[in-house]
Amino acid sequence: QVQMVESGGGSVQAGGALRLSCTASALTFEDYAMGWFRQAPGRELEGVSCITWRGIGIDYEDSVKGRFTISRDNVKKTLYLEMNSLKPEDTATYYCAATYAWGRSTCSLQTADFALWGQGTQVTVSS
């Protein structure tokens, strides 16, 4: 059974940094595009960043560009999100997600395009 487990969330002050990880099991990780999504209280789930199967194609939601960096290690079957200069509006539950996308050169930030999801990790940024 495919499992994806996020870690690295926590509470930080504005301007701080966190590194999220998502480790997958029972998945041919290198064949999947991966994404990070977040959901703040009272708001819809939104795409934060995505990365193609080989890590060549990357995209970011506008509000995190220049502050967040997505990366992946296909040997370790792990996805990362380095988050710097955190703001209170970044407070949310962060989820990793996967979609089979072998050979594709671009990735998607649309939740409907992802079939496999982790359980989430909470990020809280205080002002």
Which residue matches tokens 């708001």?
43
Residue 26 or 78, more confident: 78
DSSP 7: E
Query: Would you place residue 11 in the very low, low, confident or very high pLDDT band (cuts 50, 70, 90)?
Result: very high
Quote the percentage of the chain above a pLDDT of 90.
Answer: 91
CA atoms of 1 and 101, how far apart (whole Å): 19
